[in-house]
Structure 1
Amino acid sequence: MPKASKRQKEKKADFQKTKLKLGKGKQAANNATDVSFKAKTIALPQQSINVDKSGKLVNSRNLTTADLALQLRHYSAGVRRDAVSGIKEILTLHPSLMLTDAAPLVPELSRCVGDDDAAVRKQLHALLLWMLPQIPAQLLGPYHNTLLLFTTSALSHIYPEVRLDAIKILDVCLDALPHIATVGWENAVHKMANAISSAAHGPTQSNPAGPSNASHQPHGERIMNCYLNLLGITQKSGSAASITATDLAPGAKLLIIKSLRSFLTYALRSTSRDSSDGDDAQSCPTWFFRSAFASSAEYEYFQRILTRHTVPERSRCISVRQSNEVDSQTSTSTSYSDWPFIEQAAKSLMDLTTSSGASLNQSDLFTSLHSALGLRPSSPSDMSRSSSGKQTQSAALSLYTLLDPVLLASFLDTAPSAFQPDLDLSQQFRGQNVGLSTPAQLIFELISLILALWRGSSSSVRTQARTSLANMLGHISVYFPFSHRTGSSGLSAKAKSAVVQIDLAYAELAALLALSNTKLDKVKSKFNAEVQIASVSAFIAELLSTPMTESGTVSLASVGASAASVLDPDTFRALLPTLWFLLGSEHDTLLDSLLASYHAHATQHRVKPVLFEFLARAFLLSKVRAETPFTIRERDRILESLLSTLPRSLWEASSSTAGHAFAAVQLEFLHFLLLLPSPPATLACEKLGPFYWIRHPTKKVSGPGPFSKLPRISCKLAIDLISLLKGRDEKLDKAMSQALQFVQNQA
């Protein structure tokens, strides 16, 4: 029975109709064939074979700049990376696109600054580093806001690797747009300082920099806020910023500190002391002479004494009358109009009653060296410039106060690994011409950053900043001089120069700290001013007393050092402020070293013009209303050293194009001396004859001297000296007469 009933149910199931449920369709049979199909369209807007590109400039992949710009927004990181490299390729193949299509590409490239892919960011940095310097400023102008806004946005990205790569892009932007990228940075510093002060001591007064809308902030304010945030300095952090800084890897800290120092180099350039000295590597900075003058007008006159040939717009016209030797009844008058005549200014500014000058001791020099920094300008434009400069100096010291916990913590963490006993400062691999290790580089960047901030300081330095600097230098002084700890013979010349530069940076910081506090207040720190100043003086005296190398640079053979450190002209210019301060207490040693170094250098050496101008200006202080640290005997030694070599140096400098600027400074110095009421008697006038007219002793051929090779303005200054040198020597008078006749015939 069970089997029969089961068979009947199976037979009924074969012919039973399945009931459909609600929402269910009819099921297909097991043996049914699906014949349905679907069709989709494929869009190829950028790869169409119908587009004719025969008349367009393309790269190796047949893509134009418009195609590549569109691919920069592609979802695939590989396509974006290829687009960035393709842009560099097409601009290299077709340089004309740099003027027509490069500027519109900048907004599209700016979007990739914060790209999530590391390869895209790396390619972008290489492209912008190559492209931005080649784009004219007029074409880049409309797009700099977009570039800087995307860069600051990437500096606050959630991922740290994106922020670090954005710093590299920012460094490129600083080189291309220095003024735009730094304007308004003081606002961020003052706001942050006020916010931290309010959090610690309660509410204070409003921000002296003034309110600024977040949507209209200057780029410098945005970038400075990014720097502070990267270092962990926020409105609620205060001294806890040092803890955040220690969390950064040494390489990341080095990148941030180096970029911040580069930013401040551009930010402080417009109002720093070196801004008036120009960027010429052969010129001598003059800001440290400012304290010797009682008014800004006298300092500005002193500043232009040896550099009048660079400001022809202030020139006046004078006439020089020269009698003809053949016919004494006839005379010729020639006008020379491209240099300013300073006889009237000299009469009003020279101290005619006493030309000996005032002698200063060390305490007097401490008191006066910063007194001129607060001088009142005499014109509205100078007043606004001075007000801006004081605001920048105040912001620099406020920034140092904010950064002090970070800098101190970074130095204490890095110094033991950078200066271990018998540790090689070079990279840990074999070979020659290697650079410094990351800890050593970080130490050098930290000290350079501190110096950049304190170079803009004024006489009214707050006690907090002075105490912080004394505390910092107390920790640094343990390792000074750094060049004595360089134990590698394989360091490159650039690395050796960096070691000496940081020695000089510490020396200048020690001088600035002593100058900012006349009475040398006793602060609880490891820094002993008297001991450190003596150590700095001994180091600089040793540095100046070393001989020249065959390559034309001065080497420092330090005790215990296996390799010499190079002192290049830029480093020597940086040494001059410290040297001027130390001359107030170490006359004999340093002055002897300076004069010996001046005579040891050849005229072609790049240090010679800087050293000549420094010594010349040190002597000229006694001839104007200024204070000088030198005695009468020391000034006579300086003048004798300069004039004894002047004819030869003037000849050699005028003979080569590279020395024309040096020759102009020597002519200006000689012109000023000859206008004095009592011109110097130590000048060998007979040796100046060949400078004007040459007579070959054997070939009996004569011709104009090297003065004729000088630029037009310097040549006219040399001719102007003829009226002042006339009557001093018969051979010289004859040579000058022939030179003057030659110039008149050439006119």
Structure 2
Amino acid sequence: MPKSSKKKKDKAADFNKAKLKLGKGKQTPSNAVDTSFKARSIALPSQSIAVEKDGDAPTTKRRLTFDALIMHLKHYNAATRRDAILGLRELLEAHPELIGTHLTTLVNNCIRVIGDEDSNVRKALLSFFTWLFRQIPRDDLIPHSPVLLLFTTSAQTHIFPEIRIDAVRFLDIFLEHIPDVVTEGWTQHASGSHGRRVLEGYLGILSAGTSFGEGGDTGPVQATSTASVVLSATSKLVVLRSLAHFLSHAVAVSGRSSDATLESTSTVLATPTWYFSSSFASTPAFEAFDALLRPTWNPSSSTSQYLGSASRAWAPEFSEDCEEDFVGQFDFAVTPSTSAWTIQDLSDVVAEVNTSNEDKRSGSNGPDPQVIAAAHVARTLHPTLVSTFLDCAPAVFSPSTTPPETETQMVLVVCRICRSLYGRILQDAAESGRSHDTAEDDLQTMLSYLSPYFPFTVNGPVHAKRDIKLEQYFQDLNLIYCELSSFLVLASQGSERRPPTLHKQKARSQRGRPALSKDSAMAVSARQIERVSQYIVQLLRGEPPSSGVQPSLPRPITPQAYVSLLPTVWSLINGGVAEVSDASTSLFSTVADHAIKVSSTSAVKRYTIDFIGRLVLLDREPEYQGSFRNGRNPEQDGKLQEWITQLPKTLWELGGSHLPTTEVIIRLLLRLSQRRSRLLHEATYSSLRSRLVPYFSISHPTRGKINGPYAKLPANSPIRRLVLDLVATIVGNVPDKADTTNADLVAAVAEAVQGTAEEPYWAGITMSVR
């Protein structure tokens, strides 16, 4: 018994709490580790009294200096890093002079936060960079671009998808301020160039292949991306929009890119003329034609500066330092007769010139590397673009619901990427005659998916509230669709200039491909051209699309929209296809009526003059090979003559403002008179002379003689003498010297130049026409 009771007590002891005696603490366990320490002082370097502090250093509201904020960027706590970024903006807004002195330190420490794992820190840095880069001159920012792009492209390949998406947002900021640096070297396959790494990062995020098989751009695509995360619609929109922005800058060549027409924020847009090149026998002939109406006035400069010199003095000897392009040393003109060329020498020169021209047309020198790179990227992205459009199209073009904004922007961005890539490729096909069959087939495939919805209109309930932003999206879609259609037409026109060897190569490359018959392909093309032509007519007339469900008010066309339509208009009126001749005639009539009726103060007026003016100048171009001709259609010639006779009225209404437009009008009338255009008949000359008189002098019933707008032109400007050249040329072309309008115009000019620097010049040029 004692043994059993003892065992019970021992077991109970393990579960009983020991009672502590009063006044005694808890007993220390026998296995406790002593962690106490003793120190005579505590070192706090940042608060040491031995450190000299600059009391005049700028600080934030939390009394943090620039150096302290830079140290906080490396803190382990994400909230501290975010507060440091916010503090930097607060400090630099209050003391902007610190940006220039601490820019290197600021950039080198901020770039390490681009790939931060905390989303709030990255969001704060995005906002900070957006504000900071607007305060920094571009020349000061470029030296720091290598490290900025290095860390950003590294973040593009981060393991976390959200960091990759934010890296794309950083690229958007860089593309806004230093686009040429971001896109530099995108055509090179070497991984050391910034543009190539950025492009591969885009393709990697989209899970698109970045290389091709053995067949080059004709082989199967090999997916090289390891990304397996499916992007959400919002994230995919961010990537595609940034990629579209990147490509629009990358493929821009000599101002020929059509992307700027819809997205440019500048008040002055350049009128594109590249689409005329496919109708000329050689590139120099097109460039000479393009320079006919190019003004010397520089819109970006002050009102007293010109691209060329104001006046030129005659010099009997040519100076090598002179920058003129119409003078030179012509050795063969002064060569002694003893060294005359033989027949064999002339034959050799002719053969060499013919060989050179044949090489240029056949593309023996090889296509542009930029075109090759654009074709490579277009072939890579084609499946992604098609799948994205097919995923979003049902929701965007649904007849019963309002289009969601995200999917609508996705469709618009896909079309912009197509315009950038296929536009650059097929522009080369139109200009050089090279064949890009794969790009043409891919673009035709994309247009086949777009065509059922064209023209694109905002659908949904009739009583729904109008969304101006959505209407602008759909108008941009319509304009891009018209451009893409014109690219195919212009490329087919350019292919007609290919040498026979290229046609044979194209035929061999297309063997074994399933293709539509010629009649069916023409039928599809004709229907497409008719719908595009009808939409352009409605747009120029200010009419809303007929297929829209929601009511829409008519509105005048914008300069960006008009400029973007010019390649399409030219491709249709120059097509020469009998099946769509009625649509082409109606389109030309509408374009001419719009150019006549548009106000002189309208922002579109300058572009109508540039386009219609070049159409009337084509008649006398010796190397022009297009189908569009003046003199074949009396109704068409009547429209152009009416437009020409109203140009003096436009000159008078412009007055001393809009000097570039004034110079273009004067140059156009001068070129037409010098070339004896068939559109200038005796009645047309008489109308021009009578309408030019008020430009120099006006007879008021009560005030008498009043100076016309000619007196408002800048003193000693080339435009003043250019107008005098125009008058002298028109007067010299008059068959009947006794015409009263002739004498009235000469008298008005003589009175306007009396006592000015142009009076001797006018006297000199009129001596030759009397």
Q: Is the shorter-chain TM-score for this pair beyond 0.5, marking a shared fold?
A: yes
Matched AA of 2:756: V
1:505 aligns with 2:472: no
Aligned counterpart in structure 1 of residue 242 of structure 2, from 254, 259, 281: 259
Q: What is the Cα deviation at residue 171 of structure 1?
A: 0.9
Q: Partners of 2:155 and 2:47 in 1: how far apart?
A: 30
Name the SS of the counterpart of 1:632 in structure 2. Answer: coil
Name the SS of the counterpart of 1:744 in structure 2. Answer: coil
Q: How does 1:329-344 map to 2 (within 5 A)?
A: none
CA distance 1:128–1:68, change in 2 (3 Å):
same
Query: CA offsets per residue over residues 45-90 of structure 1, 9 Å max, x none?
Result: 2898975444333333333333322222222211211121222222
Q: What is the Cα deviation at residue 239 of structure 1?
A: 5.3
| Contact kept in structure 2, 1:595 and 1:641, CA below 8 Å | no
Match of 1:454 in 2: 422
Q: What is the Cα deviation at residue 568 of structure 1?
A: 1.9
Matched AA of 1:580: W
Match of 2:446 in 1: 472
Q: With CA pairs under 8 Å and 6+ residues apart, which has the higher RCO, 1 or 2?
A: 1
CA distance 1:271–1:304, change in 2 (3 Å):
closer
Match of 2:331 in 1: none
Query: CA offsets per residue over residues 715-747 of structure 1, 9 Å max, x none?
Result: 443344343345762222222112222532899
Q: Partners of 2:56 and 2:701 in 1: how far apart?
A: 70
Q: How does 1:348-367 map to 2 (within 5 A)?
A: none
Query: CA offsets per residue over residues 216-267 of structure 1, 9 Å max, x none?
Result: x110011111111111124689658699799321112211111111001111
Aligned counterpart in structure 2 of residue 575 of structure 1, from 555, 558, 565: 565
Matched AA of 2:230: D
Query: CA offsets per residue over residues 531-587 of structure 1, 9 Å max, x none?
Result: 354344334334434577xxxxx4534333323586421121111111111112443
Aligned counterpart in structure 1 of residue 706 of structure 2, from 702, 706, 730: 702
Q: Partners of 2:49 and 2:242 in 1: how far apart?
A: 46
Match of 1:352 in 2: none
1:718 aligns with 2:723: yes
| Contact kept in structure 1, 2:695 and 2:710, CA below 8 Å | yes
Aligned counterpart in structure 2 of residue 411 of structure 1, from 376, 389, 395: 389
Q: How does 1:207-606 map to 2 (within 5 A)?
A: 212=190, 214=191, 217-234=192-209, 247-270=230-253, 273-274=256-257, 281-310=268-297, 376=360, 390-425=368-403, 427=404, 437-457=405-425, 458-459=428-429, 460-483=434-457, 485=459, 490-517=465-492, 530-545=523-538, 554=542, 556-562=544-550, 563-564=552-553, 567-583=557-573, 584=575, 585=577, 586=581, 587-606=584-603
Name the SS of the counterpart of 2:704 in structure 1. Answer: coil
1:139 aligns with 2:140: yes
Q: Partners of 1:639 and 1:140 in 2: how far apart?
A: 51
Name the SS of the counterpart of 1:309 in structure 2. Answer: coil
Could you tell me the percent identity over the aligned residues? 27
Q: Partners of 1:490 and 1:374 in 2: how far apart?
A: 60
Q: What is the Cα deviation at residue 710 of structure 1?
A: 5.0
CA distance 1:307–1:271, change in 2 (3 Å):
closer
Matched AA of 2:547: V
| Contact kept in structure 2, 1:232 and 1:244, CA below 8 Å | yes
Q: Partners of 1:690 and 1:641 in 2: how far apart?
A: 19
Q: Partners of 1:493 and 1:218 in 2: how far apart?
A: 41
Match of 1:621 in 2: 618
Q: Partners of 2:514 and 2:472 in 1: how far apart?
A: 33
Match of 2:215 in 1: none
Aligned counterpart in structure 2 of residue 611 of structure 1, from 573, 593, 608: 608
Name the SS of the counterpart of 2:707 in structure 1. Answer: strand
Q: What is the Cα deviation at residue 487 of structure 1?
A: 6.3
Deviates more, 1:305-314 or 1:89-98: 305-314
Query: CA offsets per residue over residues 569-624 of structure 1, 9 Å max, x none?
Result: 11211111111111124431111111121223111111221122111111111121
Q: Partners of 1:493 and 1:136 in 2: how far apart?
A: 35
CA distance 1:283–1:174, change in 2 (3 Å):
closer
Name the SS of the counterpart of 1:185 in structure 2. Answer: coil
Q: Partners of 1:284 and 1:472 in 2: how far apart?
A: 27
Name the SS of the counterpart of 2:754 in structure 1. Answer: helix
| Contact kept in structure 2, 1:557 and 1:565, CA below 8 Å | no
Q: Partners of 1:389 and 1:654 in 2: how far apart?
A: 47
Match of 2:15 in 1: none
Q: Partners of 1:236 and 1:274 in 2: how far apart?
A: 26
Name the SS of the counterpart of 1:73 in structure 2. Answer: coil
| Contact kept in structure 2, 1:295 and 1:375, CA below 8 Å | no
Q: Partners of 1:316 and 1:722 in 2: how far apart?
A: 20
Query: CA offsets per residue over residues 112-136 of structure 1, 9 Å max, x none?
Result: 1111111111121122122213311
| Contact kept in structure 2, 1:102 and 1:135, CA below 8 Å | no
CA distance 1:317–1:685, change in 2 (3 Å):
same
1:741 aligns with 2:754: yes
Task: Give the CA RMSD over aligned residues.
Answer: 4.2
Query: CA offsets per residue over residues 137-189 of structure 1, 9 Å max, x none?
Result: 2322321101111110111111111111111110111121111111211234x
Q: Partners of 2:384 and 2:378 in 1: how far apart?
A: 10
Match of 2:631 in 1: 632
Match of 1:672 in 2: 671
Deviates more, 1:127-136 or 1:561-570: 561-570
Query: CA offsets per residue over residues 485-536 of structure 1, 9 Å max, x none?
Result: 4767645444323212211212222232344456998855899553354344
Match of 2:745 in 1: 732
Q: Partners of 1:236 and 1:690 in 2: how far apart?
A: 66
| Contact kept in structure 1, 2:296 and 2:307, CA below 8 Å | no
| Contact kept in structure 2, 1:694 and 1:703, CA below 8 Å | yes
| Contact kept in structure 1, 2:392 and 2:410, CA below 8 Å | yes
Name the SS of the counterpart of 1:187 in structure 2. Answer: coil
Q: How does 1:81-230 map to 2 (within 5 A)?
A: 81-188=82-189, 212=190, 214=191, 217-230=192-205
| Contact kept in structure 2, 1:114 and 1:121, CA below 8 Å | yes
Name the SS of the counterpart of 2:424 in structure 1. Answer: coil
| Contact kept in structure 2, 1:601 and 1:608, CA below 8 Å | yes
Q: What is the Cα deviation at residue 276 of structure 1?
A: 13
| Contact kept in structure 2, 1:708 and 1:715, CA below 8 Å | no
Deviates more, 1:108-117 or 1:236-245: 236-245
Q: Partners of 1:284 and 1:610 in 2: how far apart?
A: 6
Match of 1:551 in 2: none
Q: Partners of 1:516 and 1:726 in 2: how far apart?
A: 43
Q: Partners of 1:506 and 1:621 in 2: how far apart?
A: 27
Matched AA of 1:644: T
Q: Partners of 1:737 and 1:341 in 2: how far apart?
A: 32
Q: Partners of 2:227 and 2:522 in 1: how far apart?
A: 32
Q: Partners of 1:715 and 1:277 in 2: how far apart?
A: 33
Match of 1:661 in 2: 660
Matched AA of 1:253: K
Query: CA offsets per residue over residues 701-721 of structure 1, 9 Å max, x none?
Result: 533525524583434433443
Q: What is the Cα deviation at residue 452 of structure 1?
A: 0.9
